Structure 1
Amino acid sequence: MNQLVRMSHLFPADTVKEPSPEHRIPFAQSGAFVCKFIIGEPNDRAVCCGAPVQDGKSWCAFHRRIVFEPARPGRLR
């Protein structure tokens, strides 16, 4: 099972509300301009967030904060 650690639990950040579950749709039916973050286990019946997104991004603001780790000062890449 996937373990999810929210970055907001580790670092203080701006408050971004979690999208409503009413937006959720099957991943196979997700089109453009909806969040494609998979809710639960990825399988043939995967459900994605489905919340509206802006600027052609793949994830809504809430899930982008989970997917991307913010850069830390002094960190070498």
Structure 2
Amino acid sequence: MDTEMIFRTLCGAVAVIMVIYYFRREKKLLSFLTGAVTGGAALFIVNKYGLMIGADIPLNIFNTVGSIVLGVPFVIFLVIMNFL
């Protein structure tokens, strides 16, 4: 099993966990928007300044949707997977 398949499987599992988390929150929309904004900002920062640490994370549809739905942990996971 290659690292990309492991990565996509883990992202799918985490996406399900995050959806359950958002639905259990009292302020569902505010919680989702906060996670989406911070995840998008983290992805943008890593894309813009990631070459300084050796992380070249492109802005594609998978990374963008993942960072919006899953937030900052997804971006951190992308950087870690970039080094493997």
Provide the TM-score with structure 1 as the length reference.
0.27
Provide the TM-score with structure 2 as the length reference.
0.26
Instruction: Name whichever structure is richer in helix by fraction.
Output: 2
Question: Whose Rg is larger?
Answer: 1
